[in-house]
């Protein structure tokens, strides 16, 4: 067993000369790189040495890059070990890493040399890079945010690590058929990942079930039950143009050899002999296993606890190692105390999924380290911070107390004690809040059949800082969801507007546009100081820049059209307006409004004479995104988009004016093709429901204009790019409750365009599938998810008016190009470097630690 920051290869203290010269990991000349790649192709045992096809070339190239990363990794480890800075542990159930090769080569700043080297070997870097499977250990924005954050932490030279789970399959791979969406297991590890390094020496036990033993001194100990092992896999996270290379540590669940019952096995009882091994495999099988059954719920809770327990054990052990190492050095300062733990360790909870880190840290301090409650509570609350990502009621986690007590009996005791002490505090010092106590409590036993633990409440009570992810979202948290807590702890609540890494989301996914920006700004410093993009504003009317900008955009649009043809068979015209909505399919994101708009557009085009049609702005409307497998309405929306596309795209009268495309299996590498080729993107959620959004930032950075509501980070994007460069429509968050009420009271008068679009679908224009249940969600008058809770009907007319303004604006290409340049110019704020610098300073209190 060893610690979090342990070096990553056994070879870290052997001199580099021990490597065969031919595999020099820090080669910079393209001929040396080529022989390095050859060396790996020859000596890695995975493939026949006779073949050097793109797939083998990918693995050999990745391994050659990995040599270099491991060198940097070990230097980072040794340096941090020496300096011993405070470190952040970022806990997230999801990471959407995407591909790593281009990112690593780019961050190491050896793109050209590697491209040259591969050319010498008869390959193209781009083609090689496409061999890599996405590491898709996430669902959507929250997972991608975690990955952007890791990139920024490394780039800013911060001592900060990501912790997650190594799911064998990710969420799922989306297949589109006539039936709509189908899901198949996504086998990202089918061959193997060249990036992960398994650490057989980093193993921690994680217990489930069992019971609590009370000693005669009153101390408590959790014993019995199932004990599995958490085995660490490290993935290197290189910073941009820095030696600092951090880790993403992914835990895998294992059972030990002792748990294999050889006796039973030899007796022919194969399944029961390996029972614990199969339980271990379940934990890391998939992200978000179905939770309709009790077993499903237990499995999800096991996953969450597995991440928290293994990661927290690392924190505590690292700290004890520090204590051991620094004992002598601290002469005169007195011994280290656990009270100093928060000056060495910060833990960030990415949403409530890792909430169990709170009772687990308490348990480790109380039961294993022998601290008293007050001391353990003080350490825990100064260590942990929580990020809220949603105000949607169905996404606020509640766990059955019965399930929790069964799986984690000691943690349930601790949670009850936290709840009890919180109540006592209110009764003794905040009697003014007593009437609010029942909604603020951690335990909700109002339904005696189904008592629950409210995870968000546990997080708020136990964290030193709670943050929202965009200004509007943080304001809503303070004024609504967490308002009562604000009156108790006003200083606890902060905002950290999300960001995206400009490396992956501009520099590497659109080299054409990047080169133009660098040329006009006369520096590539914007890649790490994204605010420098404001320097483009002075050239927003410059015709030379316009010509270059348009040609880069066109190149990206052609690449996208090529991709769409390849994956859907639909041919789209790069001269049409590329209008994209890609994100998880959810009713609050209102893909339904977009497709209703497309249906209305199609109907109007059909009604026009050929002469009239010629005046229309040609559009290609693209959709992409996964619907959760059990979310019926979301899957109906996917089906509707595909059905509309099948009719529209095969209508010869219309094909020059409108295409509707569903791009299957949206993920990070699909996004890297779609976003650079986009011109208009839709971020049209019901105001108040999208906490931030991050793809709005990716699109804006790439010079794409947003049509959107005043929701999430849209508000701030509009402020930054200027209101004339944003197509705004729709109700505002503060109007939404009143509008829902009016709707319930039957006061809503639908726009004729809205009625016409729905009627056209009902008429069977897009096939005989029964869309009534979907369309009915837009009717009626009450209840969450019914009665048009998401206000599609209310916002539809202003949405269509905004779309008319888009068509007009696009006809004036000079105006459009100016808007595009100003979008990019105004996107500097949305770098995750800015976000992470704020977390580091205002929440984690950590500082950069640069590897020399």
Ligand X SMILES: *Cc1c(COP(=O)(O)O)cnc(C)c1O
Which of 37, 96 has the CB closer to ligand X?
96
Q: What is the 3-state secondary structure (H, E, C) of 92-153?
A: CCCEEEECCHHHHHHHCCCHHHHHHHHHHCCCCHHHHHCCCCCEEECCCHHHHHHHHHHHHH
Tell me the C-alpha distance between 295 and 281, whole Å. Answer: 15
Contact 150, 836 (CB under 8 A): no
Question: 138 near 170, Cβ under 8 Å?
Answer: yes
* Nearer Cβ to ligand X (193/694): 694
Min dist CB 136 to ligand X, Å, is 8
Least distance in angstroms from the C-beta of 173 to ligand X? 13
Cα distances (Å, whole numbers) of residue 95 to 142, 143, 193, 254, 696: 8, 4, 15, 21, 19
Tell me the closest approach of the beta carbon of residue 839 to ligand X, in angstroms.
19
Compute the least distance from the CB of residue 138 to ligand X, in Å: 8
Smaller CB separation from ligand X, 568 or 694:
694
Structure tokens at 793: 């009907």
Rounded least distance, CB 533 to ligand X, Å: 19
Binding site for ligand X (CB under 6 A): 96, 140-141, 144, 583, 666-668, 671, 693-695, 698
- How far is the C-alpha of 106 from the C-alpha of 616, rounded, in Å? 42
Give min distance, CB of 579 to ligand X, in A: 15
Structure tokens at 680: 């208009």
Positive or negative torsion for Cα 277, 282, 284, 286: positive
> What distance in Å separates the CA atoms of residue 299 and residue 763, rounded to the nearest whole number?
45
Cβ neighbours of 2 (radius 10 Å): 15
Please state the closest distance from residue 636 (CB atom) to ligand X, in A. 20
* Helix extents (H) in 494-631: 502, 511-521, 543-568, 591-607, 610-613
Say how far apart CA 529 and CA 152 lie, in whole Å. 12
Helices (H) and strands (E) counted in the chain, each on its own, are 33, 24
List, in sequence order, every residue forming a beta bridge with 207; answer none if it has no partner: 227
State how far the alpha carbon of 358 is from the alpha carbons of 53, 74, 382, in Å.
49, 31, 11
Closest contact distance (angstroms) between CB of 667 and ligand X is 5
Instruction: Please tell me the distance from the alpha carbon of residue 226 to that of residue 408, in angstroms, as a whole number.
Output: 11
Residues 6+ apart with CB under 8 A from 419: 441, 442, 443
CB 787 within 8 A of CB 739: no
Question: Minimal distance in Å, beta carbon 676 to ligand X?
Answer: 13
Six-digit token pair at 452? 């629950």
For ligand X, which is the closer residue by CB, 404 or 668?
668
Q: CB-wise, 103 or 311, nearer to ligand X?
A: 103
CB of 165 to ligand X, least distance (A): 18
* Phi, psi torsion values for 264, nearest 5 degrees: -60, -40
Q: Please identify every residue annotated as catalytic.
A: 389, 583-584, 589, 694, 698
Q: By C-beta, is 113 or 707 nearer to ligand X? A: 707
**Closer residue to ligand X in complex, CB, 150/540:** 150
Pick the closer one to ligand X by CB: 96 or 595.
96
The CA distance from 252 to 232, in Å, is: 6
Assigned token pair, 500: 């995206």
Cβ pair 567, 622 in contact under 8 A: no
DSSP per-residue letters across 254-266: E--GGGS-HHHHH
Instruction: For residue 95, list its beta bridge partners.
Output: 137
Closest separation in Å from C-beta 339 to ligand X: 40
In this complex, which beta carbon is closest to ligand X, that of residue 410 or of residue 583? 583
* CB-CB contact of 518 with 525 (8 Å): no
Q: What share of the chain is helix, strand, coil (3-state, %, to 5)?
A: 55, 15, 30
Q: Are 600 and 800 in contact (CB under 8 A)?
A: yes
Question: Which residues 6+ apart lie within 8 Å of 208 measured at CB?
Answer: 225, 226, 227, 228, 302, 305, 407, 408
**CA terminus-to-terminus distance, the chain:** 29
Of the pair 1, 184, the CB lying nearest ligand X is at 184
C-alpha span between 520 and 505 (Å, rounded): 19
In whole angstroms, the minimum distance from the beta carbon of 669 to ligand X comes to 9
**Residue placing its CB nearer to ligand X in the complex, 510 or 695:** 695
Q: From CA 298, how far away is CA 308, in angstroms rounded?
A: 15
Written as one string, the DSSP assignment of 27-57 is --SHHHHHHHHHHHHHH-TTS-TT---HHHH
Residue 90 and residue 161 in contact, taking contact as beta carbons nearer than 8 Å: yes
Q: Decide whether 319 or 666 has the Cβ nearer to ligand X.
A: 666
Q: Of 93 and 605, which CB lies nearer to ligand X in the complex structure? A: 93
Minimum distance from CB of 685 to ligand X (Å)? 9
């Amino acid at each position: 067993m060893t610690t979090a920051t342990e070096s990553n290869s056994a070879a870290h203290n052997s001199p580099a000369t021990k490597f065969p010269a031919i595999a020099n990991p820090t080669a910079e000349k393209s001929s040396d790189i080529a022989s390095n790649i050859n060396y790996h192709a020859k000596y890695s045992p995975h493939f026949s040495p006779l073949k050097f096809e793109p797939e083998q070339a990918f693995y050999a190239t990745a391994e050659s890059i990995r040599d270099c990363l491991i060198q940097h990794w070990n230097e980072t480890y040794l340096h941090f070990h020496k300096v011993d800075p405070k470190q952040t542990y970022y806990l997230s159930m999801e990471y959407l890493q995407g591909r790593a090769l281009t990112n690593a080569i780019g961050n190491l700043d050896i793109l050209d040399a590697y491209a040259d080297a591969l050319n010498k070997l008869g390959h193209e870097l781009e083609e090689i890079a496409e061999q890599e499977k996405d590491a898709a250990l996430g669902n959507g924005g929250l997972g991608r945010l975690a990955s952007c954050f890791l990139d920024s932490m490394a780039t800013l030279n911060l001592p900060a690590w990501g912790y997650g789970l190594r799911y064998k399959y990710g969420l799922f791979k989306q297949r589109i058929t006539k039936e709509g969406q189908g899901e198949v297991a996504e086998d990202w590890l089918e061959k193997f990942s060249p990036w992960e390094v398994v650490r057989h020496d980093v193993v921690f036990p994680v217990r489930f079930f069992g019971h609590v033993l009370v000693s005669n001194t009153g101390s408590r100990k959790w014993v019995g039950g199932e004990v599995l092992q958490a085995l660490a896999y490290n993935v290197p996270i290189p910073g941009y143009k820095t030696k600092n290379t951090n880790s993403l540590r992914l835990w895998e669940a294992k059972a030990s050899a002792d748990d294999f019952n050889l006796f039973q096995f030899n007796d022919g009882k194969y399944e029961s002999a390996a029972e614990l091994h199969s339980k271990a495999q379940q934990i890391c099988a998939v992200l978000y296993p179905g939770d309709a059954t009790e077993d499903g719920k237990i499995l999800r809770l096991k996953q969450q606890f597995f991440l928290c327990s293994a990661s927290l054990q690392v924190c505590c052990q690292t700290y004890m190692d520090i204590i051991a190492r620094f004992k002598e050095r601290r002469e005169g300062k007195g011994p280290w105390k656990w009270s100093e733990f928060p000056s060495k360790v910060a833990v960030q909870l990415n949403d409530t999924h890792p909430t169990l880190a709170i009772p687990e840290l308490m348990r480790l301090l109380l039961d294993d380290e022998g601290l008293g409650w007050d001391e353990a509570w003080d350490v825990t609350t100064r260590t942990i911070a929580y990020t809220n990502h949603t105000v949607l009621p169905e996404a606020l986690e509640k766990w059955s107390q019965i399930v929790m007590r069964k799986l984690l009996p000691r943690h349930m005791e601790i949670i009850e004690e936290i709840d009890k002490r919180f109540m006592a505090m209110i009764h003794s010092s905040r009697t003014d809040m007593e009437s609010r106590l029942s909604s603020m409590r951690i335990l909700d036993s109002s339904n005696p059949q189904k008592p629950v633990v409210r995870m968000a409440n546990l997080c708020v009570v136990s964290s030193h800082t709670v943050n929202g992810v965009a200004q509007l979202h943080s304001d809503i948290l303070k004024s609504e969801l967490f308002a009562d807590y604000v009156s108790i702890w006003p200083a606890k609540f902060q905002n950290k507007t999300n960001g995206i890494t400009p490396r992956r989301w501009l520099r590497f996914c659109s080299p054409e546009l990047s080169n133009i920006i660098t040329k006009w700004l006369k520096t590539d410093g914007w890649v790490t100081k994204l605010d420098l993009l404001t320097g483009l504003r002075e050239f927003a009317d410059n015709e030379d820049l316009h010509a270059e900008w348009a040609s880069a955009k066109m190149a990206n649009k052609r690449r996208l059209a090529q991709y769409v043809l390849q994956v859907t068979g639909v041919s789209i015209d790069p001269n049409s307006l590329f209008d994209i909505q890609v994100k998880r399919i959810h009713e609050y994101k209102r893909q339904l409004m977009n497709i209703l708009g497309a249906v209305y557009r199609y109907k109007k085009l059909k009604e026009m004479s050929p002469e009239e049609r010629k005046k229309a702005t040609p559009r290609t409307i693209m959709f992409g995104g996964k619907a959760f497998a059990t979310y019926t309405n979301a899957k109906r929306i996917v089906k509707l988009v595909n059905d509309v596309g099948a009719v529209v795209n095969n209508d010869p009268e219309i094909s020059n004016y409108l295409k509707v495309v569903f791009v299957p299996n949206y993920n990070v590498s699909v996004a890297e093709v779609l976003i650079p080729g986009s011109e208009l993107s839709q971020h049209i959620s019901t105001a108040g429901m999208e906490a931030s959004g991050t793809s709005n930032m990716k699109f804006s950075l790439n010079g794409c204009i947003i049509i959107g509501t005043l929701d999430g980070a849209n508000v701030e994007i509009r402020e930054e790019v200027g209101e004339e460069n944003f197509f705004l429509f729709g109700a505002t968050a503060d109007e939404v409750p009143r509008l829902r009420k009016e709707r319930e009271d039957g006061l809503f008068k639908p726009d004729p365009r809205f009625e016409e679009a729905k009627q056209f679908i009902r008429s069977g224009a897009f096939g005989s599938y029964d869309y009534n249940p979907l369309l009915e969600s837009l009717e009626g008058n009450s209840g969450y998810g019914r009665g048009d809770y998401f206000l599609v009907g209310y916002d539809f007319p202003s949405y269509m008016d905004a779309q008319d303004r888009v068509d007009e604006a696009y006809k004036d290409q000079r105006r459009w190009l100016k808007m595009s340049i100003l979008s990019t110019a105004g996107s500097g704020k949305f770098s995750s470097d800015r976000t992470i610098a704020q977390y580091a300073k205002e929440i984690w209190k950590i500082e950069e630690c640069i590897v020399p």
